Amino acid sequence: MRNVCGVMLAAMIFALAVPVRGAEALSPIERLGRAIFFDTNLSRPAGQSCAACHAPEVGWTGPDSAINAAGAVMPGAISTRFGNRKPPSSAYAGESPILHVGCGCLMPNCGCSCACGDGMSDTCPPALVGGMFWDGRATGWMIGDPLAEQAMAPFLNPLEQNNPNERFVCLSVSNASYADLFREVWGPDSLDPATRDVGPIYELIALSIAAYERSPEVNPFSSRFDTFWRNAVANGLDVCAITPGNMGGGMGGGGMGGNMEAYRGLGLSDMELMGLALFNTKGNCSVCHWLTPGPGNSPPLFTDFRYHNLGVPRNPENPFYDMPRVFNPDGDEWVDLGLGGFLATIPDGIGAPGSSELVIENLGKHKTPTLRNVDKRPYAEFVKAYGHNGYFKSLMSIVHFYNTRDILPVCTDGGGIPGVDCWPPPEVPLNVNTDLLGNLGLTEPQGMAIIMFMKALTDA
């Protein structure tokens, strides 16, 4: 862990450097972060940038349709090496707080019942909130910014960009075409890895990337839902208060039932409005993908920044199972323990509790991703993968799983078609959430309405 003074200094510089969301042009630090993010010379061998796994045309996640259709894990700079999870979106992630135990509400004056349709009271059990990566291991404890700490990791991961050490990355940046911009942003003496301790330089590289990932280029809030949200707010309407009507005969020219009539003509179709209403109610989606306003009353981020075990099966095509034992000692027996697995590596008393109780409570839990751009793709046939391991290959399949996981029997070795007459068992059977999903009772038209609503979250 870096020293406390360094953490405070980096946090203060970061707070001054990050612009207010919504600026029309990128600031110098955002332009610097963009240059680093797309620089293919920051891997060994050269060729892999951050964008190789977080591409804008697919919502800042994995850009290879064939890979998504199978193991869903992107290859590293050395093409035969793979990590263990699909890349999450790097957009709309900058508000994730430092990993801590709390109820998870991001708004300053709200209780734990701040999610649309969550059904909670003003008190709720404590949960771990924040951090980055699917397992929360970029905690924010080191330099005070989880997003920047996430940016530090892939450069040195032998399964990703494969650089030997921090100094190597800093030297590469010092020789890049944007080195003068780096000095303009961080000071004339900020980039001299040959004579300086490179730790602070490496942190500034990561803070620059995080500034870009928080920029309006990455987080434009330009979807049709955002237009609808702003129109609803301007008309004094509470988006969380929409209630669904009758699907039968109500989606055309007739009345829609519920109270959805007041929300018509604000940017969403009738089918999408029905999907939003179900998202808030019967579908239980907003329990984890919160619809509360973001900072500055901005549109919602569609995540609670918390961790859940949804009972997702293992992805048998995950290439990590076949990695050499130096990277995967467990081989085909490897189990993704998620947040609990990370917590088990923390010595007691460092940063956050690493007690055995917390470890057990969080085995198999993975971070709630944003749903923004969940269907963004460069062409209609492009395959996107869903779930931390990419097991699901369409929005329809994952919605069907949430709806029927506890209804269909468990698939056996002798047969059964997953999603048709059975579902495979969860990869981690502990802590599976059986209260909020698994038997939702959604009809097929209701499920399709929710999917249509999620498609409206694609940025223009």
**pLDDT tens, N- to C-terminus, the chain (460 residues):** 343 333 333 333 333 333 334 435 999 999 999 999 999 999 999 999 999 999 999 999 999 999 999 999 999 999 999 999 999 999 999 999 999 987 644 433 333 444 443 444 344 567 899 999 999 999 999 999 999 999 999 999 999 999 999 999 999 999 999 999 999 999 999 998 877 789 999 999 999 999 999 999 999 999 999 999 999 999 999 998 888 876 544 443 344 567 889 999 999 999 999 999 999 999 999 999 999 888 888 899 999 999 999 999 999 999 999 999 999 999 999 999 999 999 999 876 544 555 678 899 999 999 999 999 999 999 999 999 999 999 999 999 999 999 999 999 999 887 899 999 999 999 999 999 999 999 999 999 999 999 999 999 999 9
Tokens for 412? Answer: 């056996």
| Residue partners of 352: CB distance under 8 A and separation at least 6 | 99, 100, 101, 128, 139, 141, 346
Tokens for 433? Answer: 């959430």
Q: Give the 3-state secondary structure of residue 308.
A: strand
Q: Are 164 and 131 in contact (CB under 8 A)?
A: no
Give the ranges where 112-263 is alpha helix by DSSP (H): 146-156, 166-174, 179-186, 198-213, 224-234
Q: Give the 3-state secondary structure of residue 378.
A: coil
Q: Give the 3-state secondary structure of residue 428.
A: coil
**From residue 23, how far is each of 17, 82, 164, 458 by CA, in Å?**
13, 37, 37, 20
Residue 272's closest CA among 239, 296, 313? 239
Report phi then psi at 376, rounded to 5.
-70, 125
Exposure string of 320-349, with b = 16+ CB inside 10 Å and e = fewer, is bbebeeeebeeeeebebbbbbbbbeebeee
**Helix/strand/coil percent split, the chain, to 5:** 35, 5, 60
Tokens for 153? Answer: 């990791």
Tokens for 289? Answer: 């993908």
CA atoms within 13 A on the CB side of 267: 19
Per-residue DSSP letter, 73:
P
Q: What is the pLDDT of residue 353?
A: 53
**From residue 279, how far is each of 38, 287, 314, 357 by CA, in Å?**
35, 9, 26, 33
Distance CA(350)–CA(387), nearest Å, equals: 30
Distance CA(134)–CA(96), nearest Å, equals: 12
Contacts 24+ apart (CB under 8 A), 261-266: 262/237, 263/228, 263/232, 263/237, 263/239, 266/227, 266/228, 266/231, 266/232, 266/235, 266/237
Q: Give the 3-state secondary structure of residue 206.
A: helix
Residue 142's closest CA among 77, 210, 50? 210
Q: What is the pLDDT of residue 103?
A: 61
Q: What is the pLDDT of residue 376?
A: 98
Distance CA(34)–CA(182), nearest Å, equals: 12
Tokens for 199? Answer: 């730790």
Tokens for 175? Answer: 């020789």
Distance CA(255)–CA(245), nearest Å, equals: 9
| Residue partners of 337: CB distance under 8 A and separation at least 6 | 344, 363, 364, 428
Give residue 185's identity as a one-letter amino acid code.
V
Distance CA(180)–CA(32), nearest Å, equals: 10
Exposure string of 39-68, with b = 16+ CB inside 10 Å and e = fewer, is beebbbeeebbbbbbbbbebbbbbbbbebb
- Write down the pTM of the prediction: 0.89
Q: What is the pLDDT of residue 259?
A: 85
DSSP readout, 175-200?
TSTTHHHHHHHH-TTS--TTTS-HHH
| Residue partners of 285: CB distance under 8 A and separation at least 6 | 278, 279, 371, 450
